Each structure stands twice: as C-alpha cells, then as structure tokens.
Structure 1
Amino acid sequence: MKKIILILMSGLLLLTLFSCKRDEQQEPDKPTFPFMKVGNQWNYRMITEAGETEISYKIVDKTKESYFKVLLSFVDTELPAMDHFWYADQQTFTMVTGWPDNDLKFTMLGKDSKVGDRWEYFVPAPLDPEEDDLSGTITYKVIEANITAVAMGKTFTDVYKVRHTASSHPQFYADYFISLSSGIIKMEGMGYVRINDEEIEYFPLEWQLKSKNF
C-alpha cells in the first residue's frame, strides 16, 4: 500500500512540476490595442471649409484600471489643452467616457469586431435648449473590417472603419479609421455648429494623421 501511495504522490509531484514549467513558457497576452500607452502622441490636420488647424492627442497618464488621461491640444493657438479620458482593455476601446465623474464608457471598437457590429447608448437631451451636445441614440457601427488605408504616406492593413451617429443631429456623422496597431489614422464626417441662436449648420470635417511618435 505504501508503495502505491508513494507512486501516486510522485506522479502528482511530476504533474505539478510539468504544469509549472508549461505556465512559465506561456507568453503574456498581447494587448488588443497596443497603441494605448502613456507617452504616445498623434498629430492631425483638422480640415474644414474654413481652413486647416493642427491638433494633437497625447496620452499623459493611466488613471484607474483601464482609463487613460489624454490631452487634446490646438497647436499654435492660445486655446488651452483639454483633458479627455479614453478607455482600453483587452476587449474594448473608446475615446468617449464619463471618467472621472462616473464609469460611463461608449464602446467604439471591440476585440475581433465584424462588419455590422454596433453599440447603442441613450443620452438625455441637454437641459439648456441652447446647448448642442449630441444626445438621443448614440451609435457606433463597424462599417468595414480589416481594410487597407493610407495615412502620412504609409499603408495600414489592420484598419476598421467605425461610424458614429446621433439621433439628435441627423446629418452629423464621423467615420473613424482605427488601426489596431496605430490608433485613429483619419476621420471623415460632417460636423455641426449653431451661430447666433439660428438653426444648426453642418459642414464637412476631416482629420488626417500628420505624424505620431511611436
């Protein structure tokens, strides 16, 4: 009996050692959105009918869990930089969150997304009728997946085209071209503005990636 017990114990010990060895050989999961790193910066040409402006986004800190503090700067202007909080984990990425006031986040792209995937959210209309924030049904929908797109003279082959719309502003839309390796490489859409309390006017809006530091 003792011999049988010793054999069983030896077998269990070998199994444990084998399991440990296998675990040591396993590589950690690669980030789904590797461009989300502190220090990374994107510089864009923002193009409208009125002309061009250069803007930049820079990740300056990782805050709570998977939230990142991002500074939006308007290059060569006196406008102050604005704090934004993006979110990225192994499953989702978004530039739209309620952090630090709350944990609200709107998924823009998910892991292994397919054409037709969509995420819908409801945002109440502003209490002030003069405010023009997007409200109603907010939607992000994957229009194209694994496509090729060109930015700053380089071809990216891991791109998803995601359309952002809002029921409160029927003519507004933003098509984000998101590279899994490099983040947003361009945006094409229709912006909006209200001047002197008149009706909302829509205008073509585009971001073109000018440079990045990674």
Structure 2
Amino acid sequence: MEHINKFFLGLFAAILFVACKDSDKEPVLPTEQTFPFMKVGNQWNYVLKTDEGETEISYKIADKTKENYYKVMLDFVDSGLPAMEHYWFADATMFTMVTDWPDSPAKLTMLTKGCKVGDHWDYFVPASLDPEDDELSGNIRYKILEANVSMKIAGTTYTDVYTVHHTASSHPGYYTNFFISLLAGMLKADAVGYTRDENNELVYFPVDWILKSKNF
C-alpha cells in the first residue's frame, strides 16, 4: 500500500481506470449531452494494479455544487482508510478531474467538446513549500493523442473514446494515459507512478486500472 498511498496523494486526485472483456453487446453511441456520465450517484469500481499487488478502489459522484463542480469520493475498499473527497468539473464544453474547488475555482482542462488530436492545455503549478509534499508541479500538460476511437471495455464497445496524455516537469518519468468516453467517463488508464526511496530519490513504477463494474 505504500506505493499506492503516496501515488494517489501526489496526483491532484486525478487518475483512473479499465478492463477488457469479450462480449456480443451492440456498440454504445454517445448521446447529445457532452459528458452524460457526470451525474450524482454514478459510481465506478476498479482493481488498481501496481508492482506491489492489487487493491480495489471506487469513485462515486456524491453531489453537484454550484458552477458545475461535482464532489467525488475516492474509496480504497477494505483498506481502513477514509474516503478522499475531490471535486471534478463538467459543463457543456469541458471536463476535468483536476480542480482546486472549493478553495478556488482553478481547474486544469483534460477534455473539451470537439477537441482533436494534437490539442493540448498547458499550465504552471508552483511546487509546494512543504518538503513532505511531493505533488506534481512545474509545467503540466494534457494532450489529446487519439480522438473518437473504438474501445471494448467490460463487454461494451464505445466509439467515442479520447486518449489524453498527462505529464509534469517536476517528475519527468511520470505520465498517465487516460482513455475517456464521452458517454461513460474514464474507461482505462495506464501510467507510470512514483514514490521516494530511502535516499529521497524518485522511483517510478507501472500502474494500471481495471474496471470491475459501474452502476449506470
């Protein structure tokens, strides 16, 4: 759990999921609403895999606040750890899991309506003054690598999937590829996470999310 705890605490609460399984279900097409998965009560359940083993996690949209922010609870199932409260943002034009709400309205765009391959959003996040704080900082980028591709996840084929590549200059070996469906949200993620060794050197390790189930 050491890798897992430090990894999640160091990612702005911004990382996620997936699983592949054969099925004869018909392809699911996106609806008119840009991000219909952003509804109170929606929950995703995953297996998180690292080099230390597996653990189960869940994300649940608990509430919608003003200005299109949503309170999302991240739970490490059966870990004894309290659920972590985060805020995601979605309106008719953009979606992100990375916000500073309610302390400020700051948010880092991950996906926009009509975006295309090569589109990207760059931000600068100052490093924390707390030496114990190892969050991602410096030059932050979210870049669209693929748009409107098909992917079969947990027995359903989605035709509206975007691959979003996330990097941060403070941790050059880190990245996350998010696979986001306009209809179902995060379908998959593969990443290289990080922790610190006994010499305070960065150590990187692979991370994968596997979707077990969702309730919508």
Report the counterpart of residue 159 of structure 2 in structure 1: 157
Equivalent in the alignment of 2:33: 31
1:46 matched to 2:44? The reply is no
In the alignment, structure 1 segments of 5+ residues that lack a partner are 1-28
* Aligned-residue CA RMSD (Å): 1.2
Counterparts of 2:199 and 2:111, CA distance in 1? 35
TM-score, normalised to structure 2, is: 0.83
Alignment pair present for 1:144 and 2:146: yes
User: C-alpha displacement at 1:65, in angstroms?
Assistant: 1.5
2:181 corresponds to: 179
Q: 1:196 to 1:94 in 2, by over 3 A?
A: same
Whether the aligned pair in 2 keeps the contact of 1:151 and 1:208 (CA below 8 Å) is no
Kept in 2, the 8 Å contact 1:120–1:138? The answer is: yes
Q: Secondary structure at the match of 2:200?
A: coil
Give the aligned partner of residue 118 of structure 2: 116
Compared CA separation, residues 201 and 153, structure 1 to 2 (3 A): same
Letter in 1 for 2:185: G
Aligned to 1:84: 86
Q: Partner amino acid for 1:42? A: W
Residue 167 of structure 1: how far off its partner (Å): 0.6
Aligned partner of residue 158 in structure 1, secondary structure: strand
Per the alignment, residue 96 of structure 1 pairs with 98
Unaligned runs of 5+ in 2: 1-30
May I ask how many residue pairs the two structures share in their alignment?
A: 186
More helix by share: 1
Q: Secondary structure of 1:65's partner?
A: helix
**Could you tell me the TM-score, scaled by structure 1's length?**
0.84
Q: Deviations over 1:131-153 (max 9, x none)?
A: 21100011000000011122213
CA distance in 2, matches of 1:38, 1:137: 32
Same amino acid, percent of matched pairs = 62
Deviation sequence 1:147-176 (CA, Å, 0-9, x none): 112221322211000001001100100000
